[in-house]
Amino acid sequence: MKKNMFKMFPITCICREDLKNYLTEKEIENFTDNDMKYLASKMANAYIENSYWIDLEILAKDILENK
C-alpha cells in the first residue's frame, strides 16, 4: 500500500501566552486574531528559512537509526 505523500502533520502553533515574555499585557491585548495569524505565518517562514530543512534531515535520520 502506497502512503499518502501529501498528508499533513502539524509541527507547531503559537498563542498569545507565548508573547508574555516579550510584550506587555497591554501590547498583547492589541493583537487581533488576524495579527496572530500573520505572526504565525512570519514565524513559519523564519523557521523554514533558517533551520527547518537542516533539522528535518537530522531528526528524520535519527528516528530511522533508533527504530
pTM of model > 0.85:
no
Q: What is the pLDDT of residues 41-54, one digit of tens each?
A: 999 999 999 999 99
The predicted pLDDT at position 1 comes to 64
Residues of the chain with pLDDT > 70, as a percent, come to 99
Confidence of residue 36 (pLDDT cuts 50, 70, 90): very high
Structural contact between residues 36 and 16, judged by C-beta atoms closer than 8 angstroms? yes
42/61 Cα distance (integer angstroms): 27
The 3-state DSSP composition of the chain as helix, strand, coil percent (nearest 5) reads 65, 0, 35
41/38 Cα distance (integer angstroms): 5
Q: Which three cell numbers stand for residue 25?
A: 499585557
Q: What is the residue type of 27?
A: E
Q: What is the pLDDT of residues 13-31, one digit of tens each?
A: 999 999 999 999 999 999 9
